[in-house]
A and B are shown apart, each in its own frame.
Chain A
Amino acid sequence: MQINVVLNGKTITEEIAPDLLLIDFVRNHKCYSVKRGCETSNCGLCTVFLDQKPVLSCGILAARADGHAVDTLEGLLEEAKEFAMFIADQGAEQCGFCNPGMIMNAIALFRENKEPSDEEIREYLAGNLCRCSGYEGQLRGIRAFLEYKKQGGALCVQ
């Protein structure tokens, strides 16, 4: 079947198998930031935006994305990098495998909620598993980033 997807701002028209999952579609298009950590939609590693909303790309057919916009970390690099360096300053990226999914979902959170509380951060990111960091470093990084944004981005990023 044929689909039209706007992937990271670029329109792609392609013949696909009906059972192709969105994760495999975007990886086929070299969006390698999108990782697979499970087969049961539990880990959050494959988070992408579908029409600006964070979804699990392993839990949706590429066919469903027909006529919609899909964004991966590759398409959000500027925004992601600004935030990511605050995670780096905690050393909380560790193995890195869960990072793209977490960063995507964190960006979704920041867009929805400019000043989330710790509890709101934890709840929003609950579907992003990380086995390395114990989550505290991610939280510290997010808080530092939010503080930086609150100050109008005036703080010097190291």
Chain B
Amino acid sequence: MRSVGQPVRKKDAEALLTGQPVYMDDLASRDCLIVKLLRSPYANASVAEIDTKAAQMVDGIEAVYTWKDVPEQRFTLAGQTYPEPSPYDRLILDRHVRYVGDPVAIVAGEDEACVDRALKKIRVEYEVLPSILDFHDAKDSPVLVHPEKSWRALCPVGADNRRNLCASGESHEGDVEAVLSDCDVTVEETYHVKAVQQTMMETFRTVCYKDVYGRLNVMSSTQIVYHVRRILSNALGIPKSQIRVFKPRIGGGFGAKQTAVCEVYPAFVTWKTGKPSKIIFTREETQTASSPRHEMEVSVKIGADHDGRIRAMDVYTLSNTGAYGEHGPTTVGLSGHKSIPLYGSLEAHRFSYDVVYTNRMSAGAYRGYGATQGIFAVETAVNELAGKLKMDPVELRLKNMVREGQKMPAYFGETATSCALDQCLARTARMIGWKEKYPYRDLGNGKIRSVGIAMGMQGSCISGVDVGSATIKLNEDGTYLLSIAASDMGTGCDTILAQMGAECLECPVDNIAVSGADTDTSPYDSGSYASSTTYVTGTAVQHACEKLRERILELAAKMLECRAGDLDFDGRRAKNLQNGREASLAEIGVRSMCNNANALQVTESYSSPVSPPPFMAGAAEIELDTETGHVEILDYAAVVDCGTVVNPNLARVQTEGGIVQGIGMALHENIQYNQSGKLLNNSLMQYKIPTRLDMGKVRVEFAGSYEPTGPFGAKSIGEIVINTPAPAIVHAIANATGLWFRTLPVTSEEIAMGMLEK
């Protein structure tokens, strides 16, 4: 292949690296109204009185809105395909505020200073209500987070607002209890992952204005232009024809921007006032009032025989969706469906879950989307099981892991059509020096070096749901334009989709310009999430380009007065092999624009009935200070099976980035609330993502598999890469200390104090 598989530079590289003005706040008009929010200081309260008169009198203030001013229909901010599994439980502003940070008023004014002044002048009287801060207390609590009658769930996800349930369910195969009771050895433990933050460098932000037709134009830093259009239509109660949503370059997303966290506020302001307006969340708002990972407590019971055959797994997940249900019913599913299937040997399994409302910030989508939490639990349980069995955890896994061609009952019965997990694990073990280093080496100076290992999987789309589309069109000079509504958020999808197009059309990648995402001009795409862009939108690109090839040949046949079947197309010209007559692509392009009724433009959509999992193994080597508890990551080795690697540079950097995020989650990124429910890790000073000094060395390789249903054999890469560090590092810590830490992050304090108690 000439383009697929090449380390092509990202199409936007030069603009990004030279600091060109390509992000929302660089492009927004300078005379926008500034929009800010007044937020609740209470975890659960009702707005008894709100007086905005003084605020409205402040010079430069355009408007102040409260719950009295907004439409009454509920909606969800989750970027999901309609009907959304997330319940409709939001208003633009609600009289009932449900977490510290829930918006109470919207203020719009001509500059920041006047808006700040006005915010201080709003007088609110709250009726403070009892709150649910601990998610263990939520289910069937007398305190209801959503007592309102207008709450509704569009899908049968086991939701019940009278019980604080956002979702609940169960699935199983075989009699898990019977098999577990028959096992020689079992491990039963509970693992806790907190509501960690995506912490993309660009905070949430949106600018809105009305166009010449009076339509609402929304330029937002979002992964989901079409879903944002629907969400705004729901929230404002206006037709979709009146809304255009498009994205500039995005300063990172990681799932955070798969929820319309900030769009409704400026949209409401501009719709009401007719004036352009913008909102830029502060880092504090981005940390405390956004869409982090779902806090989950995953209980795993796993059973095996003495010979190391893992026979049964029972997983129960309690998930905390916070004050609102965005992505609550769906993230939880992955905690079981993308952890249990790692093991192909199971005779029985069960997966059950409850997703509860609490008075904490609403959770959302974060890279890994529940799989991360489930895999941390299951992989740690398997490592604990290896300890109990006195077996090498690599051997134990090789004996039980899912293999190519195997049916995966816990993964909706799909078959692993491409799976190089065995190669991933064996190679990762070799890279880290498992044989020599497992389990630990005491350096004799209070330091211990140890290793830990884990596997992971993800999906390549939401099967039977996600839609990817592409429009490819021939320009008259023989170049192409590819329009998509998948969102390049730094991941490089604009480039890899062009690589796929170039492969089909046998042209240089540079000959394909990419445009998107824009609901006015891009064909429908559910958006960039669920690891789906390469697999789903990629297939749409492939289909569209194949069709365009046919159209090009049809027109060429007309020009050359022959049958299309007689023509050969090599990307530059169509040639009649019989008589040698040919037409260049540019000639065909020009011809298409004169006396022609056959558009050289093709739109194709694609949706996949399956979601082939990428697989991966990761291993950490650490040095642990037994007195201070400090963990130094020395080395992280990983091998990924993402099918065909479309762009080795971008796939590698995706993997390295995901691993370092996973290291942060394992060791540093903490979520701490005070007693009244205020999140204290509210800045980059208090929420510590890894710096380049905190990550050791990360080494990534790829294992070859070919996914027959994927474009050019590709699967996904975006999310899986965050899943192995937490279980691998916890394993390494256990190998160094003999202690299992089952709550993330594992702090040096916990390690040191644990060692003292030993």
- Residues of chain A at the chain B interface (Cβ within 8 Å): 30, 32-35, 37-40, 42-43, 45, 72-74, 77, 80-81, 84-85, 87-100, 103, 122-123, 125-139
Offer 24 A-B interface pairs, CB within 8 angstroms, sorted by A: A35-B201, A39-B284, A40-B685, A42-B684, A43-B684, A45-B201, A74-B19, A80-B18, A90-B653, A91-B650, A91-B652, A95-B249, A95-B250, A95-B252, A96-B15, A126-B693, A129-B689, A132-B252, A132-B653, A134-B653, A135-B695, A136-B697, A136-B698, A137-B656
A96 to B14, CA, bound (A): 10
C-beta contact mask, B296-320 vs A, less than 8 Å → 1, else 0?
0000000000000000000000000
Q: Is the CB of B683 within 8 A of A39?
A: yes
| Total interface residues in chain B, CB < 8 Å | 58
Q: Tell me if B199 is interfacial: C-beta within 8 Å of chain A.
A: yes
Q: Kindly list chain B residues whose C-beta atoms are within 8 Å of the C-beta of A136.
A: 653, 656, 697-698
Chain B proximity of A144: nearest CB distance (Å): 12
Q: Is the CB of B490 within 8 A of A94?
A: yes
A112 to B346, CA, bound (A): 59
Chain A proximity of B312: nearest CB distance (Å): 36
Q: Is the CB of B201 within 8 A of A80?
A: no
Specify which of A35, A37, A91 is in contact with B647 (CB 8 Å cutoff).
A91
Interface segment among B57-65, B84-92, B658-666: the answer is B658-666
C-beta contact mask, B683-709 vs A, less than 8 Å → 1, else 0?
111000101110101100000000000
A38 to B201, CA, bound (A): 8
* A-B interface pairs (CB < 8 A), number: 183
10 new A-B contacts at CB < 8 Å, known A99-B16, A134-B661 = A35-B251, A43-B684, A80-B17, A84-B18, A91-B9, A91-B13, A93-B17, A131-B198, A133-B657, A137-B652
Name the CB-closest residue of B to A119. Answer: B693
Q: Is the CB of A97 within 8 A of B684?
A: no
A123 to B694, CA, bound (A): 11
A99 to B249, CA, bound (A): 13
Please provide the chain B residues from 631 to 664 with a CB less than 8 Å away from any CB of chain A in the complex: 647, 649-650, 652-653, 655-661
Specify which of B20, B284, B653, B659 is in contact with A92 (CB 8 Å cutoff).
B653
Q: Kindly list chain A residues whose C-beta atoms are within 8 Å of the C-beta of B653.
A: 90-92, 94, 132-134, 136-137
Q: Kindly list chain B residues whose C-beta atoms are within 8 Å of the C-beta of A80.
A: 17-19
Q: Is the CB of B698 within 8 A of A134?
A: yes
Please provide the chain B residues from 662 to 686 with a CB less than 8 Å away from any CB of chain A in the complex: 683-685
Name the CB-closest residue of A to B203. Answer: A37
Q: Tell me if B519 is interfacial: C-beta within 8 Å of chain A.
A: no
Q: Kindly list chain A residues whose C-beta atoms are within 8 Å of the C-beta of B134.
A: none
Name the CB-closest residue of B to A100. Answer: B19
Chain A proximity of B383: nearest CB distance (Å): 24
A113 to B21, CA, bound (A): 30
Chain B interface, DSSP helix/strand/loop, else mixed:
loop
A100 to B16, CA, bound (A): 8
**A95 with B251: in contact, given A126-B693, A131-B657, A132-B657 (CB under 8 Å)?**
yes
**A84 with B683: in contact, given A95-B202, A129-B689 (CB under 8 Å)?**
no
A45 to B653, CA, bound (A): 20
Specify which of A30, A39, A88, A127 is in contact with B13 (CB 8 Å cutoff).
A88
Q: Is the CB of A91 within 8 A of B492?
A: yes
Q: Tell me if B749 is interfacial: C-beta within 8 Å of chain A.
A: no
Q: Kindly list chain A residues whose C-beta atoms are within 8 Å of the C-beta of B253.
A: 95
Q: Tell me if B283 is interfacial: C-beta within 8 Å of chain A.
A: yes
A98 to B23, CA, bound (A): 12
Chain B proximity of A121: nearest CB distance (Å): 8
A72 to B21, CA, bound (A): 13
A132 to B249, CA, bound (A): 14
Q: Is the CB of A93 within 8 A of B684?
A: no
Q: Tell me if B188 is interfacial: C-beta within 8 Å of chain A.
A: no
Chain B proximity of A62: nearest CB distance (Å): 15
The 7 closest A-B pairs by CB, nearest first: A33-B19, A95-B490, A96-B16, A97-B251, A134-B656, A91-B649, A84-B17
A138 to B698, CA, bound (A): 12
Q: Is the CB of A122 within 8 A of B17?
A: no
A124 to B13, CA, bound (A): 24
Q: Tell me if B491 is interfacial: C-beta within 8 Å of chain A.
A: yes
